[in-house]
Chains A and B, each alone.
Chain A
Amino acid sequence: MNDLHDLYQEQLLEEYAHPHCWGLLEKPSCSARYGNASCGDTITVSLLVDESDVITAVGWEGEGCAVSMAGMSVLAQAIQGQSVTVVAKWQYQQVQKLLGLEQISPSRIACLQMGLLSVQQAIIQYQSNTSR
């Protein structure tokens, strides 16, 4: 049997109950909506990026499981002050570390990845817009 407390730790549950950076930005530099078709989870993320390609503000909304929502909450805090080029290369393990999860079952990796994939889609949009 799984140990529930390995996954649903205090930090994850707190981030889920009170997610950081909730609410979309009014005038973002870029935004994206990402959905996981298999579970119905969706995240919409909006980013403010400065002239040096650094993320200065994050706002997001979503609906989903505790892992995906908590993952996006910690990610939203962590990517502020980071360059878009750096965040574009992040993998789900970074989110796992931010949540303090020593292990994650394969079936929940998609949940962990959701926020990151939505951020990375927004970055693609930003890079596409700024390259024109």
Chain B
Amino acid sequence: MTSPWKSDFPLFHVQKNQDLVYLDSAATTQKPQCVLDAVSQYYQQDCANIHRGVYELSERSSTVWEESRATIAAFFGAKSDELILTSNTTQAINGVAYGWGMSNLAPNDVVLTTIMEHHSNLVPWQQVTKNTGSQLEVLGVSPDGQLELEKMLATLKKYGNAIKVVALTYVSNTTGVVNPIAEIISSVRRYCPLAVVLLDAAQAAAHLPINFHNLDVDFLAFSGHKLYAPMGSGGLLVKSSLLDSANPKQLQPWLFGGGMIGQVSPQSATWNEDPSDRFTAGTPDVAAAVGLAEAVTYLSTTGWQAIIQHEQEVLEYALQSLLQSDDLHVVGPHVSYTGDNRVRLGSVTWLYKGVHAHDVAQVLSSRGVAVRSGHHCTMPLHTAMGWPATVRASFGIYTSKEDIYALLDALQLVKTVFRK
């Protein structure tokens, strides 16, 4: 049975894609017509630079920008001035690393992260700890890819006040592991009161409701293009106190130039008082913001209950079917819930016995099945787990059991080609 929302996504209905079985939504999602229309309408009717002109079109464009920001922030349960729009999660995390880390980390400080992190939530911290003389502590995971909470707790207690940053993913883009972030954040607040917490929500934002205030994180990074919005959209949510210009530990701008300044003289400048402007250097991608606002409205209108139920059915069917195959080994948890706790979301990744991931992906591609193969920007995780490369099928709102049937059918072809 096809997803009830697939008809909203025009890419699936053009002739050249008629055989496409798209199972790479964790890399990027397809875009619904309403998002495409909103972007197009902006360029056709409302396009002007923002906050710069006094003419009506510029004011209209500025209004569109502010309204889009408000819509996006509200989707995440945040205030508009807690939102900094960026081009993606990577840029958002780099912003925290350079805008907060560089001015607040010193020798003897510790940045705590995990081996399951996407490179975008690891490499910036490698750079910043190297530049500040601080230490990067990387927590390992269990054989099924989950964090071992006792070890995390021991690490938090061991370093205590020395931990200044905890940088953590909400959902792993490789194993689908959902981290118990409420429990982790609670422990961080208890044992490491001087730490800021950054949550990488790139793989969570399209699949789970997120309330920024309830989470009690200091920074939350997300990608718009992974929640049905245009490439080039994304953002960073920042706790208000860290945007307060009176706070000596405030987030500092990391990009400088037009738009983010207050006063400029030949040798110096001050920054814009308004936090949303202070972190928007240069002309922003207003069209991307418009598209992102439309995308979050699309999700809100669809309703989380319907989304979660549908995606859980697809995930469960894919997981159970792949677990039954003797030809491959599924990595990550073999269940999606442990008790009431969700432990897996959004994707299933595997090693195919005796056939390299690229070859598996190539065979699947011959049947129109699009999956990702390689290390999925998690080289340290793959090395730690002894996986040379893996194959990942990831799901969106438009994915259905029909797509999983096609995947399972195409996987049979691998045996034929490689004469197992």
Given contacts A13-B419, A65-B357, A66-B356, contact A40 B362 (CB under 8 A): no
* Nearest CB of A to B250, in Å: 37
* Cβ–Cβ contact B375 & A38, under 8 A: yes
Q: What residues of chain A lie closer than 8 Å to B379, measured between beta carbons?
A: 37
Q: What residues of chain B lie closer than 8 Å to A86, measured between beta carbons?
A: none
CA distance A66 to B382 in the complex (A): 20
Q: What residues of chain B lie closer than 8 Å to A7, measured between beta carbons?
A: 362
CA distance A41 to B374 in the complex (A): 9
Given contacts A13-B418, A13-B419, A108-B358, contact A40 B374 (CB under 8 A): yes
- On chain A, the number of residues with a Cβ less than 8 Å from chain B's Cβ atoms is 19
Indicate if B388 sits at the interface (CB-CB under 8 A).
yes
- On chain B, the number of residues with a Cβ less than 8 Å from chain A's Cβ atoms is 24
Q: What residues of chain A lie closer than 8 Å to B413, measured between beta carbons?
A: 4
CA distance A1 to B379 in the complex (A): 30
* Cβ–Cβ contact B366 & A1, under 8 A: yes
* Cβ–Cβ contact A38 & B374, under 8 A: yes
CA distance A63 to B375 in the complex (A): 15
Indicate if A67 sits at the interface (CB-CB under 8 A).
yes
CA distance A65 to B373 in the complex (A): 11
* Cβ–Cβ contact B362 & A2, under 8 A: yes
* Cβ–Cβ contact A4 & B366, under 8 A: yes
Indicate if B363 sits at the interface (CB-CB under 8 A).
yes
Mask of B393-420 contacts with A, CB within 8 angstroms, 1/0: 0000000000000000000010001110
* Cβ–Cβ contact A65 & B382, under 8 A: no
* Nearest CB of B to A107, in Å: 8
User: Interface residues, chain B, CB within 8 Å of chain A?
Assistant: 19, 355-359, 362-363, 365-368, 373-375, 379, 382, 387-389, 413, 417-419
16 intermolecular pairs with C-beta atoms under 8 Å apart: A1-B366, A1-B368, A4-B362, A39-B356, A39-B389, A40-B382, A40-B387, A40-B388, A41-B356, A64-B356, A64-B388, A65-B358, A66-B355, A66-B359, A66-B418, A67-B358
Beyond A2-B365, A64-B388, list 4 extra A-B contacts (CB 8 Å): A1-B366, A4-B366, A40-B357, A108-B358
